[in-house]
Structure 1
Amino acid sequence: MTPFQSRLHPASEAFQAQRAGMLSLIDELRTLEQRAADVSARAAASFERRGALLPRERLGRLLDPGAPFLPIANLAGYGMDDPDPAACVPGGSQIAGIGFVSGVRCMVVVTDSGIDAGALTESGNQKLMRCQELALENKLPFVHLVESAGSNLRKYRVEKFIRGGGMFYNLARLSAAGLPVVTVVHGSSTAGGAYMPGLSDYVVMVRGRAKAFLAGPPLLKAATGEIATDEELGGTDMHASVSGLAEYVAEDDAHAIAVARDIMANLGWQRADDPAPFQPPRLDPEQLAGVMVLEHRKPIDMREVIARVVDDSCWMDFKPDYGAATVCGHGRIEGHPVAFVSNNGPIDPAGATKAAQFIQLCNQSGTPIIFLQNTTGFIVGRHSEEAGMIKHGSKMIQALANSQVAQVTIHCGASFGAGNYGMCGRAFHPRFCFSWPNARTAVMGGEQAATTLEIVARQQAARKGAAVDDAKLAAQKQEIVANFERQASAFHTSGHLLDDGVIDPRDTRAVLAFVLATAREAAQRKTNPLQFGVARF
């Protein structure tokens, strides 16, 4: 190839005139961009009074320092939202672009709530949908910082309403495509905007500030006559503990953004091969020999176990206030992201729903799941049956049975009833399954089984009008308890090949690191399958 010989003369008057004209246009562009920032900044005093960060401050905290950021549709709405060029504020009340969050290249959209309280505009809707389309085409996670008063009803246009449904269509497609959608709700997310967190994979809400409802208090009163405060109707605490919409609760904007960065870091998308440097647990794994109670009826916080297994004893709780007896969250083992599901009590409807969602999210991100079994099973009783325990427990079973990521089960304590199934017992094909020496496995406790049969026997005798032989029932009860107890021990179940071995609890981290590395190698190894086994000749 021959080097190109330029004929331009940078010192010529023509070149300099062209350059000056171009620089003038660039200045005009920067002025228009600055106009949006300046208008937004006028709300600084209001944001400061409520302890909130301005939208551009939120963006700055979200993005990795020094990493490149490519703005998208920076002039959206110019000449469209307001026909007067001198008055029009470009940007569509959205700040958007491709940048890096915890080392992961993402599509980022921030509602510019400093302009008209973040009310949705036609250009803003189109900009948001274009960003979603770009994320789909380029396989980018979608991070959305939301604070919007919703649509401006004074400027209602039916076409805007109809086309706006594409925002929610795209969010569903992003999630289905395996592209995580992370939404931080800093303020209101009303009406159709409530489906932004509703269709997200991970939702962070700021306590005392974030609100999400299909109809705000004024519309609710107008439509139904019902009176409720915005906190009662759609506040953070309600969504974190009752509706389950919020996975994480933050105390302020900065905390919420830090949580969003942690979420992205825990997906493990920033590395293809080698893990990040890691620190051993701060809490000594040797203490695992004394963490678990030997009597399964006594409660224990299984986070005490997790903290002695994961790197630097750091842990990110998923939906901790919803279905609180079911523990889900993220950590790392030797630098590699992992997920945990464990139990601080029986699995209730909310806990089963949470676990089902969490298992699906782990499959979306390709994160292996570690099940630390310590459960008395799915909760029973009239209230739980009315709450849909069967159908919600079935969600958990469905998610688990169809999960495709590597799963490792450790029997740490009790494993009773269908809890054994829902927590990835042997029948659900975990990649590896180990037991601690104290683990107990049974369809139910021996005392429960014996008492159940005694009640049945007494009822049968009553129906027949026959006398009850108390001595015979006592002997039967003793026999049943002994039979259950004999088969429940980890040594018995392991001897019957119902796990892959009994391990020293203090070796749990080392065992998990080894088997997870084995699973990663398997995923990366390319083989050449044949249509036949190689024959000997």
Structure 2
Amino acid sequence: MSPAGTGASPHDRRESGCPLITRARGERAATPHLPPRRFVSYKPKSRRNPKTFPVLDGRVPSVYQHVFEGNLRNSEAVIKRYSELLERVKKGGGENAIVRHTQRNKKLFVRERLRLLLDPGHFLELSPLAGLELPYGDVPAAGCLTGIGRICGVWCVFIASDATVKGGTIYPIGVKKQLRAQEIAMENRLLSVHLVDSGGAFLPLQSELFPDKLHGGRVFYNEAIMSAMGLPQVAVVCGSCVAGGAYVPTMAEESIIIDKIGTLFLAGPPLVKAATGEDVSPEDLGGARLHSQVSGCSDHFAASEEEAYECIRNVVCTLNCVPVPEEDREPDSPLYSPEELLGLAPLDYSCTLPVKLILSRLVDGSRFQEFKAPYGTTLVTGFGHVEGHLVGIVASNGELAQDAALKGSHFVQLCGQRGIPILFLQNTAPQPAGPASISQAEAHSNRLKAQASMMAAVACAAVPKITIVIGGCFGSDSYVMCGRSFSPNFLFLWPNARVALVDSRHLPTAGDCTGEELELNQLKAKLEEESSAFYSSSRLWDDGIILPQDTRKISICPGFSWG
């Protein structure tokens, strides 16, 4: 994860590979249960981090040393794989495409555009691995960069097309990524900035990105709704803006178009030629001067890209937003090194160590006020501070038994009443075998009822919820721990995480089933591939992968300073 507020260049921050995003300090996240609030930044309350919380003992017992070392080796391997994938993503459509984009077309690479637009030290990318190794091929970063950054001290969501990827053509995964960025903007009441450089939809896949409710047209619907909510949107036409994409800048509150490289039309010159037989240049059909002087589709004319991004910064200054104030003091660091989390990230469920060892490396000063400590010990609940922000923590510590689920339900409701954000650390056990006796069936029924109660509490808690899958995300237990279908504000994975209905390592052996051994092995291989964190992140089932040692930086996500 990339550090925020360090003054490092965006290139340096991307080297460390951060999928996380940020938002204004002190701003309450909008939820379906609470009335919306203005998107402007509010001055945060003084962050009191009491020294009275008990200090956790984070020493790893010697009996667990071999497990720690095995986990460490696995973490190093998956982090290496993660770094390789990030390196591919940083190159966009490839070196040749970047040369063609920058030298022949005289345009800036999308990451250079963001460097000019955003305040230094405040760029955090969302879902960078989206679009890799899909059935229709690689679409690095889904063809667009999304995330959150600061402009003149104000947090905003950005959606920036990368025209080096498939010529800026929009694929289904690109639509999904844009819609997720808009959802984040609406939930957290942030303004949006669009950098449009796109050739429109990829027609061979039109059935997957046009006709349904959450397909391409939803982007324009969201623009209208966000405007009605009082959430401004601004756009820069910094390349082609064709077909449906032409509505993005025209529906924005203010738009800028760049001379010579920005064009805006529903149908380009080839279609005009086919329909009328007339030859017309892109500049004459929909260039910057036409839309600035004649049609009025653009509100500002920019002679260069540098001028356009300076204009956007000036526009943001007219939105009457209060810049985010700097934090008043540094929070306490954990007493134990977060680097040791690499040895605590489980290789599989059987390699799970006590979750308090993880908490001692996450919370400020390793201080944690546990709730109902001796009851329902397979779920750890309590309060701690992360980078100075008070959060309720719900952490898996074994199979979610009946008493653990009842405790979790109680604690989640407490956090909802007190307005405290909740951090879920999810490492759910593989689905247990069915009951073998009447007494076991009764125990299963009680467990089911308790888990249903916790599900209801999690779903209805009107506070920000952030979920981190630190190990397994299997079966119905993942719902109880605020999985994706329970709409956490953000969901991140450690690179060792597994996401599946069942764990491939707990399938029956060939001798236990009636099917062919070959079919069983094929199923195991399929589950193994599809349950990896990289497979999940490439399909936008989460908001990105976060390295274990960078987990504390989730404090800069929208919602942590809510209240």
TM-score (norm 2): 0.45
Q: Choose 1 or 2 for highest CA Rg.
A: 1
TM-score (normalizing by structure 1) = 0.47
Tell me: higher relative CO, structure 1 or 2? Use CA pairs within 8 A at least 6 residues apart: 2
